[in-house]
């Protein structure tokens, strides 16, 4: 009887750990999706003229990036050791082999955001801002992001 209880307890703990690890992966992916919404949706669509120019939306996107990007090193503090089910992108295990190098990819993004802040006035300047910031995001994605599909 006692053995069964222990075995079931161990099983439940194991299941809990799997869920917790998956939560970590989901949180990390949501961090990136939020940044993507600001840069790849609001700023890029503005740059391409796909959405009408909206200064408040542009400023909110830059402000959102300013808040989100510095959180990357902490959000990626733990290795979830698994991918989000059915995701298009995943984290490379290289992150946890060279976490210091991964974290070092963040300050250039913060600087790029500061450089373009307040300078977006129209679609053309939104394009400049997109190119400036996106180049630094890609700098990390090239090494640490894996395309699954
Ligand atoms: C320090 C490294 C790093 C930086 C800097 C970085 N990313 Fe990522 N990004 C990742 C990793 C790792 C993934 C894969 C994780 C995932 O998608 O679960 C990722 C995935 C993404 C995804 C795909 C999310 C999905 O649907 O799975 C988007 C969108 C994204 N990043 C946007 C950005 C934007 C925009 C910036 C710049 C403002 C940025 N990232 C900066 C590491 C980084």
CA 78 to CA 63: how far, in whole Å? 26
Kindly give the parts of the chain with pLDDT less than 50.
none
* Residue 29 Cα distances to 64, 90, 91, 111, 134, angstroms: 16, 8, 9, 22, 17
Give the per-residue pLDDT at 16: 65
Give the per-residue pLDDT at 15: 62
pLDDT digits (tens, 9 = 90+) for 31-62: 999 999 999 999 999 999 999 999 999 999 99
* The CATH number of domain 25-147, selected from 1.10.357.140, 1.10.443.10, 1.20.1090.10, 1.20.120.10: 1.20.120.10
The set of residues, in sequence order, having a beta carbon less than 8 Å from that of 76 and lying 6+ positions away, is 28, 31, 91, 95, 99, 102
Task: Report domain extents, the chain.
Answer: 25-147
Q: Facing residues of 90 across strands?
A: 146
Determine if ligand 1 sits within 6 Å of the CB of residue 112: no
Look up the pTM and report it. Answer: 0.91
Give the per-residue pLDDT at 21: 79
Atom of ligand 1 lying closest to residue 25 CA? 18
Instruction: Compute the distance from residue 145 Cα to the ligand 1 centre, in Å.
Output: 7
Give the per-residue pLDDT at 64: 98
Atom of ligand 1 lying closest to residue 69 CA? 38
Give the per-residue pLDDT at 110: 98
- Tokens linked to 108: 């250039």
CB of 41 closer than 8 Å to CB of 130:
no
Instruction: Compute the distance from residue 87 Cα to the ligand 1 centre, in Å.
Output: 13
Instruction: Compute the distance from residue 106 Cα to the ligand 1 centre, in Å.
Output: 11
To 5 degrees, how large is the angle CA 45–CA 72–CA 62? 35
Atom of ligand 1 lying closest to residue 87 CA? 27
């Amino acid at each position: 009887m006692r053995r069964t209880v222990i075995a079931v307890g161990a099983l439940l703990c194991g299941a809990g750990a799997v869920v917790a690890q998956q939560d970590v992966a989901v949180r990390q992916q949501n961090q990136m999706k939020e940044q993507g919404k600001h840069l790849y949706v609001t700023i890029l669509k503005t740059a391409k003229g796909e959405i009408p120019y909206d200064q408040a939306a542009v400023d909110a996107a830059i402000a959102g990036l300013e808040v989100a990007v510095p959180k990357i090193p902490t959000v990626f503090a733990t290795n979830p050791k698994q991918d989000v089910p059915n995701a298009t992108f995943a984290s490379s295990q290289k992150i946890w082999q060279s976490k210091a190098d991964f974290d070092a990819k963040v300050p250039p993004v913060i600087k790029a955001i500061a450089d373009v802040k307040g300078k977006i006035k129209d679609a053309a300047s939104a394009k400049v801002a997109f190119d400036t910031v996106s180049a630094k995001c890609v700098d990390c994605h090239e090494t640490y992001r894996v395309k699954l599909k």
